Amino acid sequence: MTDLAVTAAGGRRRRGVGRPRAVTILAFVLPFILPFVLFYLVPVAYAVWQSFLVVRRTGGEYGTLYTTFGGFTQYAQALQNSEFWGSIGRIALFGIVQVPVMLFLALAMALLLDAPMLKLKSFFRIAAFMPYAVPGVIAAIMWAFLYSPQLSPVVELFKGIGLQPDFLGPGAVLWSAANVSTWLWTGYNMLIMFSALQAIPPDLYEAARLDGASDWAIAWRIKVPIIAPSIVLTTVFSIIGTLQLYAEPAVLRQISSNISSTFTPNMLAYAVASGNNYQQAAAISVLLAVITFVLSVGFMRLTSRRVGL
């Protein structure tokens, strides 16, 4: 009985002050909620719904098209598609090599920029970040030019010393795409790590120096452990970025026949959709989203305890 009374009392109080507050909150939140629902939740829900449909038609080949519930038909087909697994395997290989290389470079650059003796800091910071300002497609076109055996001054230089590199060959083209991604994103990741480094209070270094720590020891024993959360964050971004890979291989594809239309899962989904099979493309997209979610959350879980996230 007392509980009820308390609730009623609370309710009365809320009616007095609370309601205008709820309206205010709503007014502030709506500009976010509305586009979020319209342009994020609705399309995702639509894709999920599409992925459970199959196409049927009445009245022969040129008859009326309609879709009907097909259960997991599209998923079963996607999972049986060797192209799907091929594309997943390809980006897995890409990610296992490219992400560590890129993040190691980014970390090294961030630590160098943070080193006390470095002059022209702001110049180097901007210079390293510059590639990120270049749209991915433009970057890929630029690199495509540098890779092309017919046009590239780089290939010409290699020829001068008796080498014949084939950047667009069947074995090399994946790494040529990885190189474009690395070039594009190292500066971005470096900046996140560098910002974290800037937040470390200088007295920590002072104390370490008094204890006789070298610059190397300070970097390795103090700086890196403290910025570990941002390294995890950049790794998660990179995992997601790898799974979503599209622009770089799609542009390189125009000059190399060694990149198939199903090179990455995103390219496969696009190719399937452009063949009018939207339902299958939706299933592939949903599968890709699930894999991305599992991998990024899995990685966070795996590392969070260690780095104290």
Does 195 sit near other proteins (CB under 8 A)? no
N- to C-terminal Cα distance for the chain? 44
Tell whether residue 216 is a contact of other proteins (CB under 8 A): no
* Site membership for other proteins, residue 258 (CB under 8 A): yes
**The one segment of 193-201, 268-276, 286-294, 298-306 that binds other proteins by CB under 8 A:** 268-276
CB-wise, 254 or 304, nearer to other proteins?
A: 254
Q: Give whichever of 77 and 244 is closer to other proteins, judged by the CB atom.
A: 77
Q: Which residue has the tokens 């076109």?
A: 141
Contact between residue 165 and residue 158 where contact means Cβ atoms under 8 Å apart = yes
Q: Is 7 an interacting residue with respect to other proteins (CB under 8 A)?
A: no
Helix axes 153-160, 136-147, angle to 10 degrees: 30
* Residue with smaller CB distance to other proteins, 227 or 267: 267
Stretch of 57-65, 94-102, 210-218, 287-295 contacting other proteins, by CB under 8 A = 57-65
The answer to whether 149 contacts other proteins (rule: CB under 8 A) is: yes
Output the smallest distance, CB 298 to other proteins, in A: 32
Q: In terms of DSSP H, where are the helices of 199-227?
A: 202-210, 215-217, 224-226
Judged by CB under 8 A, the residue of 244, 260, 292, 296 near other proteins is 260
> Can you tell me whether residue 67 is helix, strand or coil?
strand
- Please select the residue that binds other proteins; options are 275, 290, 293, 297, rule is CB under 8 A: 275
159 binds other proteins (CB under 8 A): no
**Segments in the chain forming alpha helices (H):** 2-13, 19-36, 42-50, 73-80, 82-114, 121-133, 136-147, 153-160, 173-198, 202-210, 215-217, 224-226, 228-243, 247-252, 265-274, 278-307
- Does 47 bind other proteins (CB under 8 A)? Our answer is no
Residue 66: strand pairing partners: 56
Of the candidates 280, 282, 285, 287, which one interacts with other proteins according to CB under 8 A?
280
Tell me which stretch binds other proteins (CB under 8 A): 31-39, 56-64, 93-101, 221-229.
56-64
Structure token pair of residue 142: 């630029």
Single residue of 65, 93, 137, 207 touching other proteins by CB under 8 A: 65
CA–CA separation, 299 vs 306, rounded Å? 12
Which residue, 99 or 287, is less far from other proteins as judged by CB?
A: 287
DSSP at 37: I
* Residue 69 binds to other proteins (criterion: CB under 8 A): no
Which amino acid appears at position 42 of this protein? Answer: V
* 168 touches other proteins by CB under 8 A: yes
Q: Helices 265-274 and 278-307 meet at what angle, rounded to 10? A: 160
* Options 3-11, 149-157, 215-223, 233-241: segment touching other proteins (CB under 8 A): 149-157
Go through the chain and tell me how many residues it has. 309
Binding site for other proteins (CB under 8 A): 54-57, 60-62, 64-65, 77, 148-151, 168-170, 253-255, 257-258, 260-262, 271-277, 280
